[in-house]
Amino acid sequence: MTAIHGTIKPTRRPGELGVHSLDRFHFSAPDLSVAKAFYEEFGLDVGEAGSQLTVKTRGAPHLWGTIGEGPRKKHGFMSFGAFEDDLERFAKRLQTLGVKRLDPPAGVDSNGLWFHDHDANMVEIKVAQKTSPNEKSGFANESAPAGARGAPFRRSVTRVHPRRLSHILMFTRDVRKAIDFYTSVLGLRLSDHSGEGIAFLHGVHGSDHHVLAFAHSNAPGFHHLSWDVGSIDDIGRGAMHMLGKGHSRGWGLGRHVLGSNYFHYVGDPWGSFCEYSADIDYVPADCDWKSDDHAPEDSFYVWGPNPPEDFTHNYEA
């Protein structure tokens, strides 16, 4: 995460107007003490700021998300990071496309550009440091040499702490409209999709295969937050820890086709999911990723256990 500390110049695709990062999420949940316990056990750093929870990854200053209290779990907004010299161009683009500017949500201190997306979700484009990685994230797949022990003893297994937020998967009423909106307004690019069922979008300035994905539903809502870890072993240790804390609802271990990442989803207390993800495909700033329409059987997973029956149920609907 050298970009966060500003020691390496972020990658940038010349001449392209597009957001570079998914900067922050916000949602509300009915009991913040339950939320705090869940995300801390997941391996994130959860703090309190006023009446909200703040979600960070261990040892990094970036604020990945905030959680406010509400009657039920509900998606709030997403903020996307842009380069400073692009903000004025984004403002002009919103005007040209007839996208109405809005005030920030109550209690949010921000001078970014706020507007509604195709589903009336609040979205912000703001100047921010590039938190999308500038190169493919490291993935450890080590084998012990002959004559040496590979696995740790149970007593010495350590906790897993995700390195960064990788992506958010949103439910939408219309996947085609979601693709159109987020590519034309925010400048994301379509990585892959499966008909009108699911679509994956990446940032043009170098990002994971998807920073944002959409799955069809009868209402908007967020399905999962995905957190990057460094190995299959990390995924397993995280899943095992959550199981030990009573979070047995979930899906994994498996491997996705589109994005290629290894995964384990842990069910959160509200019916949505938190994903441990490793080795997701990476689209560098100078790569024209070949987008395709894939068969439904390739839109989900290569291998893994059967998903829970309600895996794609939208509890916000």
Kindly list the residues in this chain that would bind Fe ion in the complex (CB under 5 A): 226, 275
* Among 63, 65, 186, 175, residue whose Cα is nearest residue 124: 186
> Which amino acid belongs to residue 151?
A
* Among 274, 279, 272, 276, residue whose Cα is nearest residue 317: 272
| Residue 10 or 238 with smaller CB distance to Fe ion | 238
Least distance to Fe ion from the beta carbon of 226, Å? 4
Least distance to Fe ion from the beta carbon of 53, Å? 22
| Residue 217 or 226 with smaller CB distance to Fe ion | 226
- Asked if 135 and 284 count as a contact pair (C-beta separation under 8 A), the reply is yes
| Residue 185 or 280 with smaller CB distance to Fe ion | 280
| Residue 116 or 313 with smaller CB distance to Fe ion | 313
What pairs with residue 234 in β-bridges?
Answer: none
Surface-to-core class of residue 143, CB atoms within 10 Å of its CB (0-12 exposed, 13-18 middle, 19+ buried): exposed
Least distance to Fe ion from the beta carbon of 44, Å? 16
Least distance to Fe ion from the beta carbon of 210, Å? 7
| Residue 55 or 82 with smaller CB distance to Fe ion | 55
Surface-to-core class of residue 37, CB atoms within 10 Å of its CB (0-12 exposed, 13-18 middle, 19+ buried): middle
| Residue 124 or 228 with smaller CB distance to Fe ion | 228
Least distance to Fe ion from the beta carbon of 48, Å? 27
For Fe ion, the nearest residue by Cβ is: 226
| Residue 13 or 164 with smaller CB distance to Fe ion | 164
Least distance to Fe ion from the beta carbon of 225, Å? 8
Least distance to Fe ion from the beta carbon of 93, Å? 28
> From CA 300, how far away is CA 303, in angstroms rounded?
9
